[in-house]
Structures are given as structure tokens and as C-alpha cells.
Structure 1
Amino acid sequence: MKKIKHHLTEPLLIGYAAGTLPEAFNLVVATHISMCDTCRAALAEYDAVGGEVMLDSDPVEVAEDALSATLALIDSGKLSESSAPIRTQGSVFPGPLQDYVSGDLDSLKWRKVGGGVSQLILSTSDDATVRLLRIPAGTAVPDHGHRGTELTLVLQGAFTDDEDRFGAGDVEVANEDLNHTPVAEAGMDCICLAATDAPLRFTGLVPRIAQRFIGI
């Protein structure tokens, strides 16, 4: 994998460490962290700061069986380090994403959304949405802006837009100020994990009509 150039913002890392992000955003952040040494190290620092804050906080009461329940989870093996760099051999999906995706790239139930682009909406909480996007090499996603925040993590291939080039492991953080037309690079389909907390704002008439049916 080439060197990752585009990283998570500080507010996203702090929100992830504090547990205040929507599940959809948590998934993108956790997946990027599993691919990026830089953001994984930064997250460890925020976790350490959070631990110090907890030490200075007033004690609170917990359930009497809290310790035994936690030890039971540890013994069962259900607790794991989600930020560890895990990737199944030959899979484009890093460890944190594999709990949400059943199957490999070609066995998923992709849904066409126009222009050759396909998507698969993943099941998360209702405060934001997250989907896998499969953009054929050389294909452009319709020009669009944003009504909220969109996180787009590249898992395979690369895309370019008016801002920069984004390759595997890179994450683009878009807000209301960004209007762009992402184009997948030639040579390989671009696979992305994208989370949004508000509908996109498409420029063209046809994408705007289709938007109500594709849920993006």
C-alpha cells in the first residue's frame, strides 16, 4: 500500500475516543485507523488523555456485577482491540468492516445507482448512513455538494476530484463548503466506504430525481 496522505481530523479522532460519533462515522474512523499508523498513534494519545480525565473525575456507582461481567467477556474472547491493523488475507475489507460485510467483493449484493456506480448500504444506527461504493475505473460520480459531513475512505483503487488524489487508506472529509466530482482512476475499480449525516446535494437533474430511490 502506498503512503497514506489524507488523515482523520482532530475532532473526528476526539469524538471517536469519547464515543460521541454516530455509528456510521465510527465505522469509517475505525476502518481507517486499522489501515493508518499515524492516526492509530494519535488515537492512542487521545485515549491516554481521556484516561487522565477519568482519574480526576468523581467516582460513580456501577452495577455490583460489573467486574464479573467484564471478566466474563474477556474470557469469552468477545473483547478485542478494534484499532489493531487486521485484514483477512486477500480481502479488501479491513477487520472493523468485516463485521458489517458478509462475503467478498464480488459476492456482495451491489445495487446499481446510475452511471455504472454501485452501492451497498450497511446497517447502522439511524443518526447517519454508511455505504460501500463501487466506482468503475475511469467513471465519474455526479457532481455534488453536501448538506452535512461526508467521510469517504478509499479501500481499493483511487479517485481524484477538485481537491486532490485519494488512494487506498486515504480519507476525504467533506462539508458544506465542498462541491466536487470524484473520478475513479483508470486501471482498477475504486472501492470506497462513505458515511454521511445528511443527504448529498446533487447538481444535475437526473441525479436529483434518482436520489429519492437510492437513499444517498
Structure 2
Amino acid sequence: MEHPFIDVRLLASNLALTRTYLRFASLTLCIYTVLYGVTEWIGTARGMSSMESGLMLLPMSALSAVVVGPISKRNLILGPLMVSALASIVASIGVLFLTASTPMIWILTITFIFGITMGTMVSGNQIALYTQVTADQIGTASGLFRTFGYIGSIASSALIGIVFHQKVSDEGMHHIALIMIAISIIALVMTLTDRRLRESAKAARANA
């Protein structure tokens, strides 16, 4: 096809860009698992309404919005991507210890840390993308960026559906946490071992 829905040739020819997509999809999975899974668990374990559960995530979204600005203005890549993976690991470990009797402040703290992951992950990967493609590829590359984000969110829904298939429980939440920890560690390793990402970071700083 002349204009395929997913440009496989672009993915195969630009592996640095492909790794950016994979990092974005993997941490998006963790973020949406918090948005969907943790709120569902809160509602069941703590007997809270959907509105009350949703309000618990407001600090996460607010912090994410605050974090994006400084990173984008300075064209930062490597640092934010390392922080996003590390914050996801720390917060996922926190999820591992959630129980029905966990104080609300602990749950808020965990979601707050995921707000750091969200802000640094989105901005860092977007800036990396801009340095990894030519001007005529920006449109296609940006579209694929959003597509991989959707893949991450869909995968999170599948994960939650499988784990919580019979019932929403502390044990199920802990299983999800283990999966998020593993995914976050993979994202961190991908960031630390990506030499092209370091080149992208230098290029972005030069254009700042």
C-alpha cells in the first residue's frame, strides 16, 4: 500500500524511533492501569463511589501537567525518560503493598508519583521523536506515536480484565503491580542502553 495505516518500513528503518514508541507504549500501559485498575480497586476495596475514586487521581493529573512545561521548554530527553521509568518502578512497588486497610494518604502518594511518570514520559518521548525523524516524516511519526499510546492503553484494559475477571481483590492488584514493575524495569533498561537516545538528547539541547 502507498499509504499504510502503520508504516512498517519506517519502523524497520528507524530503530531508534521504534524504541521510542515501545518505551511510550510500555509506560502508557502502566499509567492507564493506574487510571482504570487502581480506581476500580479503590471503589471495591474501600467502598468509594466512581466520583470519589476519580477524585483520588486528580493530584496525579495535576502534577503531570506541571512537569511537562519545564521539560518541553528545555528540550530535555534522557533525564526525563530515566525519571519516568524510575518513578514508575517506585510507584508500582507501592501498589504491590496496597490492601483494603491501606491509609488513603499512601494511595494518594502512589498516584502522585505516577503523575511524575506521566509528565516526564510523554514530554521526553515526544522530544526524542522530533530528533529522530526528518521534517517530512513528522506527521506520520506523530500519528504512530499516538497509535502506540493507544496500544498501551488497550493492553492495560486487557490486563485488568484478565486479572480482575472473577473479582477485584488485593491479590489481583498485587499481580498487576508485579507486571508493572517488570514493564517499568524493561523501560529503564531500554533507556539506559540506548546510545542513539543519548545522541538525540545532545541534538535537542543544541536546538534549545
With normalisation by structure 1, the TM-score equals 0.27
Larger Rg: 1
Structure with bigger RCO (C-alpha 8 Å, 6+ apart): 2
More strand by share: 1
Structure having the larger proportion of residues in helix: 2
Q: How does the TM-score come out when normalised to structure 2?
A: 0.28
